Amino acid sequence: MQHRFSVLIIYALATFWAVVAILMHEQPEYVLLAVYLIGSIVFYLGLRILLRHADRVPLPFRDSQISFRKSSLFVKLQNLADQAVPVLKGLMTLLVMLALAAGSRATLKEAMFAIGVTSVGVILLWLTRDPRNNVFHAFLYLSGLVLIVLLDSQAGQLLFGRVAVGQVALCLFVLMLPLVVFKIVFKREDELFLSTPFDFLILSMSLSLVVVGPEVAVSYNLPWLIGKAVVLFLGLKVVAVSGNSSARQVCIAMLSAMLLVAARGIG
């Protein structure tokens, strides 16, 4: 078996067990042990069958000197991913407008938090002088979290007397998620979406909150809230990294949204 496919199998297996560990973290130890043993045996037998019938499945045993990222197929997918960015920008614009128009009026605490987030955003922007800076993107995560909280609090409200706000928001997130994943997977070499320790710090903290969310007594559905915040954060990051003009648009839009939230909450 060629090195490339060996690495893919190793990473796929590690990812699989990581997901299993997260989904089954509340199960007893003997259940986890049984699942691990059975899964390992099944994987081992499958690999042995693959090696024994290499002539029937030749792909894992072939390799190319050309990297997949240099292939014509990958370039076509990159071009397609670039075309998805304007669509993603439009979906996020609708989501922000929906949160501001149909979301609940911020409480005084939420308004003060929005002011704090805005202050952090302005300070980071002044220090970095670059809306594409990865540290500044922490502001995008926090501001997105504020908007989602306000939107979720009015999920049952009817929009135009017909469709619930929560259903519209869910549809937008469902449309955004595959576009975000597609663009991150088929990114260009100069596009840095998940490349810094700070990015992974935000994601790991979010994942931790999702895991402990059911045990934390809060008025929000924390795992659901954090999951949507991560999707919005990655979407904003994808758009911001795509170009200087897009980064400025994202910066101005989110700063304006936070100021509007604060003004409505205090006024």
Residue that the structure tokens 């969310």 belong to:
213
C-beta of residue 193 within 8 angstroms of C-beta of residue 199: yes
Asked if residues 264 and 111 have their Cβ atoms less than 8 Å apart, the reply is yes
Q: What is the pLDDT along the chain (267 residues), one digit of tens a residue?
A: 456 667 777 888 888 888 888 778 778 888 888 988 998 899 888 888 877 776 666 555 555 556 666 777 778 888 998 898 889 889 888 888 888 776 666 677 777 878 888 888 788 778 777 777 777 777 777 788 888 887 777 777 777 677 787 888 888 888 998 998 888 888 887 777 766 676 777 777 777 766 665 555 455 567 777 788 888 888 888 887 777 787 788 878 888 888 888 887 776
Give me Rg for the CA atoms of the chain: 22
Query: Can you tell me the distance from the alpha carbon of 149 to that of 139, in angstroms, rounded to the nearest whole number?
Result: 15
* H helix runs in the chain, sequence order: 3-23, 29-52, 72-102, 108-128, 137-152, 165-185, 197-212, 222-241, 244-266
Give dist(CA 264, CA 267) in Å, integer: 5
Q: Which helix (H) or strand (E) holds 163?
A: strand 163-164
